[in-house]
Amino acid sequence: MNERNERIHGVACTFRKVSDVFHAAEKVRDAGWKNWDVHTPFPIHGMDQAMGLPRSPVPRLTLLGGVTGFITGCLLTWYMNSYDYPLIVGGKPYWSVIFPFPVLYECTILFAAFGTFFGQFIFNRLPRHNHPLFELPNFARVSDDTFMIVLEARDPQFHPDESRNFLQSLGGQEITVIRD
Amino acid sequence: MFGVALFVASFTFIGLGYLVATGTGTWGLRSPVGWGWAIVNFVFWVGIGHAGTLISAILCLLRQKWRTSINRAAEAMTIFAVCCAGLFPLFHVGRVWFGWWLLPLPNQNGIWPQFRSPLEWDVFAVSTYFTVSALFWYMGMIPDLGTIRDRATTWWRKAFYSVLAMGWRGGNRQWSNFEMAYLLLAGLSTPLVLSVHTIVSFDFAVSNVPGWHTTIFPPYFVAGAIFSGFAMVLTLMLPLRAIYRLHDVINQYHIDNMCKIILATGTMVGYAYATEFFIAAYSGNSFEKFAFVNRAFGQYAWAYWIMVSCNVITPQLFWFKKVRENHSLVWIICLFVNVGMWFERFVITITSLANDYLPSSWGYYSPTIVDIFTFFGTFGFFSVLFLLFVRFLPLLPMAEVKMVAPQADPHAH
């Protein structure tokens, strides 16, 4: 990577129609790009395949959260009602999985939801308010009715002029260079 | 309107303030009825919340596209209804400053909560429900908050929505994780919503009181919750639709679907009432039999028949297309359902307690002015929160509505 590229975040172009950006994304994928993204106002059905993205890793944190929650619930009820201050109720065992089951169930769901919610932020690297894309004047329209493909400078295939031409060949409009 | 809502809300705070200063006796609670309006109102408000989760989570899993136009407002309704619900048991404990004894913390004697109690299960269920609903609601709003941020014209709006939008950029790599997380939260909310009202019904069903100690309670409570919740969704959405001219986003198809759900769940509730009577007759238990005959023909018969006419008879009008298309009529029927479902909880709670095993301990419960103030005020409290939401947050899930539009299909031309 030469010195000039280091000050550039990438190049961007816009599309007005879903089918155009969809087919353009397939071509970028087939050209072997790794560091690029399609910015859209809503999730486009099938775009993950069109971009060649793997399955989202969020479910791993959901599972981790759920297991943690169940164990936390077990430890909580066992420690409080059977270890630290044993309660004798009707000659029943101090602790079993039956009587606190609603508590274990709710803890499982609560922690799994935390895993999912924070997992989304972790894998999306959010919150981040200083992204170079926010400096683009036409980026504000991407959350309304415009679609944008961004090729990033850190991709080994990136070359300022060739990548512009590549975007042009895909039918992209308003091709702009994003400065870091 | 906001001022009116604030004024109404002040009734709750006056009522609760007086209660804290005096004691729960001011709520008309005395032997034999120790659970009065507070528990009735709690179950009423929690039940209302359930339609929001049903719309946002269960209909999302079932890929019902019509849910998109109403899900945001319905989720907001859930959260605010749970806020109202939570007030009642919290103050019902009497010494509200000891409310933290319900949490898994040791009190000054080193005693922990008792996890065999359905009331303790309720603490976990309702607080989990509130937390997960709030996370789900907020996460769904992030892309729309990004849209508002990008359209903001004043610096303070920009700053406010930037913080809330968390720097959302709408990249497909973000959407991929977002959609997965959204789907998972929907999947988690589904068993959660069913468990919450199940556990609320355990408050009754686990006790040994005739009329409460039945296994039908969990499904019956869940059906009733969905029923009352959809009625509340329509009660709120029909005026909103008229005020904000949302006729293209919330159209006849949505109203039809909601009316049909009310009809279906209302019929289920009616069926449950009949089943309760059958099981009581079939049980051979004289206390159980008496509890049900007493409900229909005893000292609270007036409440029972209000309940039956509002919950079982009025929704049957939704069989007719003409009724479903007449929105003022739909709104009035929904008000009847709201009233009927409140009376259902009243009938269940009060009749069983007022006339249990020993005739010598029977009594007649009536609410006091403090009860009425507190309950009346929660409608204001709810309206304050809902009006703030309508003013400052995206009422319609914009990204989701765009997603289901025909232009969003990449293979369309």
ipTM: 0.89
In the beta sheet, which residues pair with residue A147? A15
Which 3 state secondary structure label does DSSP give A175? strand
Residue B202 contacts A where some CB pair is shorter than 8 Å:
yes
In a domain, B310, yes or no: yes
Å from A93 to nearest chain B CA? 12
Domain match, A84 and A107 both: yes
Domain match, A132 and A48 both: yes
Contact list in A for residue B137 (CB cut-off 8 A) is none
> Among the three residues A92, A107, A123, which one is the final residue of a domain in this structure?
A123
Number of domains in chain A: 2
Domain match, A86 and A117 both: yes
Exposure pattern of B378-411 as b/e (b: 16+ CB <10 Å)? bebbbbbbbeebbeebbbbbbbbbbbeeeebbbe
Domain match, A140 and A160 both: yes
In a domain, B38, yes or no: yes
* DSSP one-letter code for B405: S
Domain match, A44 and A88 both: no
Write out the residue range of the structural domain in which residue A99 sits.
58-123
In a domain, B185, yes or no: yes
Task: For residue A1, name the pLDDT band (cuts at 50, 70, 90).
Answer: very low
Contact list in A for residue B118 (CB cut-off 8 A) is 102
Mark yes or no for CB contact B173/A113 under 8 Å. no
Domain match, A78 and A29 both: no
Domain match, A118 and A142 both: no
| Nearest CA-CA partner of B355 in B287, B275, B303 | B287
Domain match, A132 and A47 both: yes
Domain match, A134 and A148 both: yes
> Among the three residues A108, A123, A138, which one is the final residue of a domain in this structure?
A123
Taking the C-alpha atoms of residue A123 and residue A125, their distance in angstroms, rounded to an integer, is 5
> Among the three residues A123, A143, A167, which one is the final residue of a domain in this structure?
A123
Mark yes or no for CB contact A43/B168 under 8 Å. no
In a domain, B396, yes or no: no
The CATH code of the domain that includes B88 is 1.20.1630.10
Residue B150 region, left (φ>0) first, then alpha (ψ -120 to 50), else beta? alpha
Exposure pattern of B335-363 as b/e (b: 16+ CB <10 Å)? bbbbbbbbbbbbbbbbbbbbbbeeeeebe
In a domain, B395, yes or no: no
The contacts of residue B84 (CB under 8 Å, 6+ apart) are B41, B45, B378, B381, B382
Residue B30 contacts A where some CB pair is shorter than 8 Å:
no
Mark yes or no for CB contact B150/A140 under 8 Å. yes
Which 3 state secondary structure label does DSSP give A147? strand
Number of domains in chain B: 1
**Helix residue spans in chain A (DSSP H):** 3-6, 18-30, 47-51, 58-78, 101-123, 160-169
Separation of first and last alpha carbons in chain A: 15
Taking the C-alpha atoms of residue A54 and residue B267, their distance in angstroms, rounded to an integer, is 46
Contact list in B for residue A18 (CB cut-off 8 A) is 407-410, 412
Please say whether the beta carbons of A116 and B189 come within 8 A: no
Contact list in A for residue B171 (CB cut-off 8 A) is 37-39, 150
Per-residue pLDDT of chain B (413 residues; tens, 9 = 90+): 888 888 888 888 888 888 888 888 888 888 888 888 888 999 999 988 888 888 888 888 887 877 887 888 888 999 999 999 998 988 888 888 888 888 888 888 888 998 988 989 999 999 999 999 999 999 999 999 988 888 888 888 889 998 998 888 888 889 999 999 999 999 999 899 889 989 999 999 998 888 899 889 999 998 999 899 899 989 988 988 888 888 888 888 889 989 999 999 999 999 999 999 999 999 888 999 999 999 999 899 999 999 999 999 999 999 999 999 999 999 999 999 999 999 999 999 999 899 888 888 888 888 888 888 989 999 999 999 999 998 888 888 888 888 887 777 777 65
- Which structure tokens are listed for A28? 């970028």
Looking at the partner chain, which of A43, A80, A85 has a beta carbon nearest the beta carbon of B175? Answer: A43
Write out the residue range of the structural domain in which residue B276 sits.
29-366
